[in-house]
Structure 1
């Protein structure tokens, strides 16, 4: 396809020369089989790299300290070294001294200190070594695998003559095809009792897990789970068995368990939690060391050694110039030991092996296999005893090896599509000269291994890769390479990414991506880039930054949210109360003078960079590519290239942003403004830190310098979790109701969430202490041992500024002030109290200031702070619904009035160090409570004095204690209001208090007075005088004759309630009243009062009319005891008028007044005889009878009967 190819861009492999004497150590990397290799007396010199050192360090710590984890699971792909490391551990800890020595030497070669520490730990734990219980798992029950491992341990240590107890235990295991869990645990215990710790290693453990997954919920599967759980538990803790467990598998437990039932998955999750998982990820340094150890140059002559050293020096220089130290730091000596590998070949080989999942085996195969393109074949064919140069094995040969020998594994790799794309494009390059094919292979390898742009295929990198390091700097070769690269671009085999100067293997397309991007970029404004970066915050630049160090010191979880700005933007920042963020970080892509104004009183950090234009240019290209991607004429090839360019430029842009704003970068400058509203001023502070988190912590330390410290992570945040909110609600309710108890009465044997919040917030800030520490007066005969307190300046100095600000805010609240306004003061700098903590401070202050601060809910005064109010206060809208007002009463007339009112109302005002004055709120509460308990009748009746009516009205409408006591009540009584500066006037105060208390007594006594009136009305209607007891007994005697009578329903109902003996006196009257009026006494109105006497009189008349029908018919029931003597005599008076009308009236005569009546009769008869003459007594009797019957007839027009 190419015409007139240019020559001289590469060195011909056919003329390569290698100094003779280079040999390869080991012909192959044999797979480790643990069951086989633990019996091998030699370890074959394993290399102990960084990955193995980490595992050995954990094991050494666990052997030395049994409190550490002793169960591990090794997870990693084939060839990652799990089995080899396990064999090394078995040798180091085992009883075979020869294997011990080899293992120690292998570890000493890398870490002499770790080797010594591990040897000492083994010697102290088991001088004669561990028992190596090793088995390779199969698709069988786990119990069978463990049994085989224990049998291996016994056979390796004692042969055919184990201790008797061990032999018996193993025999018990062998009695069944699959041993029981109990028998295996017994055998394990017997082995540990011999004084030898047990090292249990289960290789290919994934097969056991696959067997378990296939078994489902069967009994054997359940036993396997239980067995592994018991093994891990048996070897846990200082008191556990000296058992060390290793499981080796390719996937994590959860990946195998995913094929099982939900129950099994949960059970395996529990088991996995008892194992410490160690993932065997490839280690690049280990792979390079493996290559180094396989190459032996000891037989190379000095002349050849000098050629190798010269090549290594040139390679080291080029390595540094290309910035490859970030990939791996390689010294000239190491580069020399890697010869004949080109430095890039030594790096690319492990990276390619990692991609296809063969790791160390692929590397050793590239070195030692006897097949085309291997290092062995090159050494055999190019070695020279008198070489003129030291040629290197470069990337094209590495490409040929992997695509020829490793094609099968490539197809199974996760990156197969990209590999095949490169290979297919090269296969299409028919007719290209070898130089061009080598360029394509080199670029293909670089395309495959480059991840972060360090190894991207730039012209300089391609030149380095295609030549021996000593010739890589040849300018003529470089010039010819660039011409050939341009030729390959023009023929469609390569594409050149201008922005990164990178070449990529290319399938070709008719879309001119470069031209289209430039065309679109013209229409992309820098503001579009800022918008795009803002939408993607959280990828490179953080979306939020937590002040971790500040949080550790203070307990307050703070974070700044971030934004990106350009020129003189105006940004909305977080508010004090409603937003969780405590400030803002701005990444400014403009000149410092164009920094934005932030609409927020909270702190702002603004970072600038020296070259924002470079970031904007990259962002414009990225936006242009993203727009191009969605256009209709983009084919698959162009689409893939655009996607790759987007991914690459996104990564590059991320690198630029990190370098531009990272606090450690020389490109960035950071400044702090205490308030976002001041960013246009020069009141900034330069600030330095090592990270964004440290930057925000330093800013918080400066801005929120007076924040109190707490020790409870549930509370110290803006929005509490559901558990945290519940704990805070319970805590504050208990602070109100159980304030006098130590630890608020919490069970000290349990550490509940509310108790944790108590200790970490309330107690830690000094808000609740023992009474003697609080310094408050303790009431006599109280059981309170603790109380709410102010923070102690000596013990809690960091809380004092906040507390003083809170107290001052309450004192300054001379008008009703929303609690949210006070919250805002406490949450703003310099205090910065988090929303989870500020209600705790507020409630504590309200308790302490209960005497001079009033609390209102939606304008209504709250006489008590109770759990219900606490719950509403903590609601989302609570701070807006509640207000507070300071109500100081001074030392003048107001103080005197409150003092006299407290005495008159018998109010025990709470004592508080805050208020030296008597408690106005306690007096107000006492008066309001009298109104709050009034019955509907007492609350609405007009049957009170005018003053009482006015006082009741004022109390019913009261919302402000101060206004109530000193303005509303005096005016209700016709007095002047009491100003705050009024001087003392004993007489006026006494008069005011007397009139208030009289009115209160009248209001409170309205229901009692009504009850007395009702009793009197019933007595009058039935002719029974006396109190409630006398009324009840009198009515019972008077109506006892109706007990078994057949009466109308309403008469029967009244009689049955009168004669009810099961109720006490205080409850007896209410059913009678309800029967008469269909309404409870407390619900009466004044109209009910007016209509009651006629109703009860009517009931008495109706009973009178039917009463004569039952006179003399009463049949006494059989008595088991002597009847109680009657207290009332009943007489029937019958009067016949001249018209023939006969009127009957029942007259009830209480026996206690009978004697008085008889004495009175004697006097009256004498006076009648004297005044009326002979027969005067009879004349008087007739007149009295007519008068009485006439009175009754007035209330009962139909009461007369015709004879």
Structure 2
């Protein structure tokens, strides 16, 4: 059967060669894309200042160059071209002729790997020479126009700068316009080659001239210049590997050209095929019958006219209708790196259309498979679908040469590769329609292919796929899954398991209030509806889709009406077939979860995953269609609702349920669960709120995250603003925030008789009508704690907090359940006591009178600063002790001030009574309390005074002041620095000689050394321990001092005292010794005593005198060492001195 392909389709177009040749336009088909693009050109010519530069891009062999050739002839006023367009679209032909104004001069450039500037210059030179050789009819002398064009052609070929080339294009456009009324039509075909050159040689291939051309083309009032570039792929794909700055420059160029995607729709491709193929002796009925069967089996786009498709498919005989539908999408998917559709038609290679049809055979999909693998084998192996082609070849080698099986396997491969793009998936229906064999034979061959593991069947989509090398039996696994998932499983349960619903956000409400409200979506089969509706929503709202498996009953309608205001219930209709799909999907889920063999079978796993993805997408689409608002009956709060669109309904519910929501736009904190960075910023803000409430911006410097929260939450709402009294926390000005703060304020004022937990306050703001988010709660709460700081008491684990420290802020953020607050106010009678107390503790009375909390804080603050010794000692008076115990046990500030402390002071509590009855009690109360507090404050100082006294007695320190006594002992200690061998004495010497500490610290240091505990931590027992340890160290000190005695020369540090060393040893007794310091103030007394003793000694023998003095000295030394009894008794007890004493 002789078959021809018209010459127009037998070779690719070369723009310059074919334009200037005698070749006509026979066979050119004016396609829909061509008409659309010509319409754009006409629009641009009719609109001054419009863009007149286009970038036409599309795959090889798509007809771009043919269109450029046709448009060039059309704008040159070629009669043949005009006739072609008139035959296809006469109004467009007339409109384009009218808009062009006259004949254009085509400037045709075919790209090459070189600078684009040179190509544009050569193209214009060639165009001007052609224009000079055949000057169109028009104004002016033809000879003059011809001469000017030739001169311009010579000049532009010598141009080597962008400015010179652009000037030549301007001059050429003016020359043509002056002659014909038209202009220049620049076509730059194969621009990609210039782009490739520019990418490799960025300095030599600058594309800025293309931007200049596009800008010149759009210049209003200038002689017309139209510019069209032709590419095989998107402009930016040529810029791969360039620097970001260079890519930005290319994008600027690209942005000047309007994109025209050159991809013909399937219908146009069929029309082109029908026009290209000419077959002699076409059968009368078979083409139409095959076309009918193919169209019946295919899934064509709704926009395509089925009758017209049948006609085109029949006219493309002997190309099988399935191949005719396939080849367009197939070669587009291959991106025509090697072949185009029409090179396939015109090629005489083995397996090509002409080669097969020359043998009298119809060209089937299996022939197309042979052509692709025979001519593109290497390219297929490395391109799209490489695995498919490899698996097909492997399967062909296994089926033993059965012709029908081979034919079907090749069909499955081709249809798997591109069939979905043409509406021809490899389904059983399509294979039966396109195999060309009887149905029974086709089914038998398919069964044999399945048995031979050459193809696999996807039951969910009725599709065959080339087997990919797995022994996994999906059909058996699915049968097992269907046993595990009964057919009566409710649709709601199936969807919950396989396609759990996603929460929804009320977008309009979020935009208007700054708060994203989330609605949980729930599926119910109706039987569990009452239980679902009985539980409150876990989110801001809820959408319940009731998916009944049977017709709704009266009981179901009754249950539907039980919804609350935050719940939308949809009774869905029209669910036919969806449960079966959902069960199939659930079965695939079951297979994935319960089939161990999938773990080691990558191919089977990919197959199951692919089927799951495809079926999941289909289920999603069906669910979206079934759950469309118009397909359900809607209810809210027991009443029917009209819901045309779900999003507006969600926002309407939020507006109704949360009418007093604060309008705060801050995504960091206006959310349920703030991020860790938001929590850090909140801590910083709360710290600023508590430490700098009266400063602008709360004292926040710069723009850290906490300032953003401050500006949007506190400043914008008016919670923190400048008032007549300065910057203060105040009532907000934003209505929603004002309502929430009002509710919080009311809750605080209600907590007068007992504290309220912070979680209870938070819950009040979370619930309707406020719906405050968790991230905002601490900020709003602290704004009121600071604002009402002298009225709101804060308790942590039941203990009153005198102030909110930063550490307490952190603990409250982590554990709000540990904190409670209480509103504290005083009665008139209590105000009497407050005035007296305020004056006593040094607080100036404010304009509104004293508040309990500042007074309590001042009292407790003084006590809390006392050392632990004061809280433990029993040495104070009973009154001070009772006041102390009352303060230590204090829990609630008002009760402490007006009940517990008065009772501790022996005064009746201050209740809600007449003020005049409280005046005398208040005076007594304040006097007794003041005395007790004064005693508490001096108790520790009294302890240190006692320590100083004991040190003076133990070491014989006679200086008048504490500082002088310290200096005296220090001087003596430093003198023994190298003499001590005992560890305790060495440590004592170091501390006693420490000159860096003040006198108070010096005493505390010595006390801590001798008791192993700082004095401020002492109990009463530590005072006795100190006395004992001091006596021991004093004796050791005195002994070492006597041993180390030297008559050193006096210095400035020792000049105030004279040292004497005394030592007495009696028979059979240890030596008694001491170093005595004689201070200047005692010197006279010492002299008088010495004179009196001298008189008592009389004229006795010197030895006798010395013995008497020794006896007396020994008694004095015994007494100094701590021996009890008076001096006479000690002296009498001593034995008589022996002659050699």
TM over 0.5: yes
Residue 866 of structure 1 aligns with which residue? 805
The alpha-carbon deviation at position 376 of structure 1 amounts to 9.6
Matched residue SS, 2:265: helix
Residue 1009 of structure 1 aligns with which residue? 942
Q: Following the alignment from structure 1 to structure 2, what is the Cα–Cα distance between the partners of residues 952 and 1043?
A: 44
Cα 1:200–1:339, aligned 2, differ >3 Å: closer, same or farther?
Answer: closer
Count of residues in Structure 1 that have an aligned counterpart in Structure 2? 973
Residue 511 of structure 2 aligns with which residue? 552
The alpha-carbon deviation at position 696 of structure 1 amounts to 3.4
Tell me if 1:1085 matches 2:1034.
no
Residue 839 of structure 1 aligns with which residue? 778
Cα 1:165–1:1098, aligned 2, differ >3 Å: closer, same or farther?
Answer: same
Residue 735 of structure 1 aligns with which residue? 689
Asked whether the equivalents of residues 576 and 827 of structure 1 are also in contact (C-alpha less than 8 Å), the reply is no
2:873 alignment partner, one of 938, 941, 958: 941
Q: Describe the superposition over 1:990-1039 as per-residue Cα deviations: whole angstroms up to 9, x where unpaired.
A: 32233333323222322111112222333344262643134335556888
Q: Following the alignment from structure 2 to structure 1, what is the Cα–Cα distance between the partners of residues 980 and 605?
A: 105
Tell me if 1:536 matches 2:502.
no
Q: Describe the superposition over 1:1101-1127 as per-residue Cα deviations: whole angstroms up to 9, x where unpaired.
A: 66667777788x52216x6xxx48955
Q: Following the alignment from structure 2 to structure 1, what is the Cα–Cα distance between the partners of residues 110 and 1001?
A: 87
Q: Describe the superposition over 1:528-568 as per-residue Cα deviations: whole angstroms up to 9, x where unpaired.
A: 54333112336xxx422233332222222332232321122
Residue 328 of structure 2 aligns with which residue? 350
Matched residue SS, 1:798: helix
Matched residue SS, 2:935: helix
2:922 alignment partner, one of 989, 1000, 1004: 989
Asked whether the equivalents of residues 889 and 895 of structure 1 are also in contact (C-alpha less than 8 Å), the reply is no
Q: Describe the superposition over 1:1029-1050 as per-residue Cα deviations: whole angstroms up to 9, x where unpaired.
A: 3433555688898688778765
Q: Describe the superposition over 1:93-139 as per-residue Cα deviations: whole angstroms up to 9, x where unpaired.
A: xxx999xxx9xx99xx9999xx99xx99xxxxxxx999999875xxx
Of the structure 1 ranges 888-897 and 823-832, higher mean CA displacement relative to structure 2 is found in: 888-897
The alpha-carbon deviation at position 791 of structure 1 amounts to 0.9
Asked whether the equivalents of residues 506 and 647 of structure 2 are also in contact (C-alpha less than 8 Å), the reply is yes
Cα 1:857–1:416, aligned 2, differ >3 Å: closer, same or farther?
Answer: same
Tell me if 1:954 matches 2:886.
yes
The alpha-carbon deviation at position 958 of structure 1 amounts to 3.2
Aligned pairs for 1:770-785 within 5 A: 770=722, 772=723, 775=724, 777=725
Residue 765 of structure 1 aligns with which residue? 717
Q: Following the alignment from structure 1 to structure 2, what is the Cα–Cα distance between the partners of residues 615 and 84?
A: 50
Matched residue SS, 1:607: strand
Q: Following the alignment from structure 1 to structure 2, what is the Cα–Cα distance between the partners of residues 1041 and 111?
A: 124
The alpha-carbon deviation at position 898 of structure 1 amounts to 3.5
Q: Following the alignment from structure 2 to structure 1, what is the Cα–Cα distance between the partners of residues 331 and 951?
A: 110
1:524 alignment partner, one of 482, 486, 490: 486
Cα 1:350–1:1103, aligned 2, differ >3 Å: closer, same or farther?
Answer: closer
Q: Following the alignment from structure 2 to structure 1, what is the Cα–Cα distance between the partners of residues 276 and 239?
A: 48
Cα 1:689–1:271, aligned 2, differ >3 Å: closer, same or farther?
Answer: farther
Aligned pairs for 1:432-471 within 5 A: none
Tell me if 1:812 matches 2:774.
no
Q: Following the alignment from structure 1 to structure 2, what is the Cα–Cα distance between the partners of residues 633 and 1041?
A: 92
Asked whether the equivalents of residues 788 and 847 of structure 1 are also in contact (C-alpha less than 8 Å), the reply is yes
The alpha-carbon deviation at position 960 of structure 1 amounts to 3.0
2:627 alignment partner, one of 625, 637, 661: 661
Q: Describe the superposition over 1:34-83 as per-residue Cα deviations: whole angstroms up to 9, x where unpaired.
A: xx999999999999689999x99xx99xxx999xxx9x999x99649899
Asked whether the equivalents of residues 568 and 634 of structure 2 are also in contact (C-alpha less than 8 Å), the reply is yes
Asked whether the equivalents of residues 195 and 238 of structure 2 are also in contact (C-alpha less than 8 Å), the reply is no
Q: Following the alignment from structure 1 to structure 2, what is the Cα–Cα distance between the partners of residues 644 and 745?
A: 60
1:582 alignment partner, one of 535, 540, 553: 540
Q: Following the alignment from structure 1 to structure 2, what is the Cα–Cα distance between the partners of residues 254 and 788?
A: 61
Q: Following the alignment from structure 1 to structure 2, what is the Cα–Cα distance between the partners of residues 824 and 1012?
A: 56
The alpha-carbon deviation at position 855 of structure 1 amounts to 2.1
Cα 1:1140–1:605, aligned 2, differ >3 Å: closer, same or farther?
Answer: closer
Tell me if 1:607 matches 2:570.
yes
Aligned pairs for 1:237-252 within 5 A: none
Cα 1:1149–1:1043, aligned 2, differ >3 Å: closer, same or farther?
Answer: same
Residue 146 of structure 2 aligns with which residue? none
Q: Following the alignment from structure 2 to structure 1, what is the Cα–Cα distance between the partners of residues 330 and 909?
A: 94
Asked whether the equivalents of residues 575 and 600 of structure 1 are also in contact (C-alpha less than 8 Å), the reply is no
Asked whether the equivalents of residues 907 and 924 of structure 2 are also in contact (C-alpha less than 8 Å), the reply is no
Q: Following the alignment from structure 2 to structure 1, what is the Cα–Cα distance between the partners of residues 869 and 63?
A: 89
Q: Describe the superposition over 1:602-660 as per-residue Cα deviations: whole angstroms up to 9, x where unpaired.
A: 93332221133543344345556777998999999999999998776655433332111
Indicate the RMSD between aligned Cα atoms, in angstroms.
7.2
Aligned pairs for 1:115-154 within 5 A: none
Residue 728 of structure 2 aligns with which residue? 787
Matched residue SS, 1:799: helix
The structure with the largest alpha-carbon Rg is 2
Q: Following the alignment from structure 1 to structure 2, what is the Cα–Cα distance between the partners of residues 698 and 910?
A: 49
Q: Following the alignment from structure 1 to structure 2, what is the Cα–Cα distance between the partners of residues 636 and 1115?
A: 100
Of the structure 1 ranges 1015-1024 and 1130-1139, higher mean CA displacement relative to structure 2 is found in: 1130-1139
Tell me if 1:565 matches 2:497.
no
Residue 792 of structure 2 aligns with which residue? 853
Residue 634 of structure 2 aligns with which residue? 670
Q: Describe the superposition over 1:724-775 as per-residue Cα deviations: whole angstroms up to 9, x where unpaired.
A: 3322222222332333332233444xx43333232232322322223x2xx5
Asked whether the equivalents of residues 1143 and 1189 of structure 1 are also in contact (C-alpha less than 8 Å), the reply is yes
Residue 890 of structure 1 aligns with which residue? 826
Cα 1:954–1:335, aligned 2, differ >3 Å: closer, same or farther?
Answer: farther
1:801 alignment partner, one of 717, 730, 739: 739
The alpha-carbon deviation at position 25 of structure 1 amounts to 5.4
Q: Following the alignment from structure 2 to structure 1, what is the Cα–Cα distance between the partners of residues 91 and 920?
A: 98
Aligned pairs for 1:219-238 within 5 A: none
Cα 1:685–1:983, aligned 2, differ >3 Å: closer, same or farther?
Answer: farther
Cα 1:1066–1:650, aligned 2, differ >3 Å: closer, same or farther?
Answer: closer
Q: Calculate the TM-score normalised by the size of structure 2.
A: 0.65
Aligned pairs for 1:617-632 within 5 A: 617-620=580-583, 623=586
Q: Following the alignment from structure 2 to structure 1, what is the Cα–Cα distance between the partners of residues 243 and 670?
A: 36
Cα 1:1133–1:152, aligned 2, differ >3 Å: closer, same or farther?
Answer: same
Matched residue SS, 1:716: coil
Of the structure 1 ranges 941-950 and 642-651, higher mean CA displacement relative to structure 2 is found in: 642-651
Matched residue SS, 2:887: helix
Asked whether the equivalents of residues 323 and 363 of structure 2 are also in contact (C-alpha less than 8 Å), the reply is no
Residue 650 of structure 2 aligns with which residue? 696
Residue 176 of structure 2 aligns with which residue? none
Q: Following the alignment from structure 1 to structure 2, what is the Cα–Cα distance between the partners of residues 879 and 576?
A: 24
2:673 alignment partner, one of 719, 723, 729: 719
Asked whether the equivalents of residues 206 and 248 of structure 1 are also in contact (C-alpha less than 8 Å), the reply is no
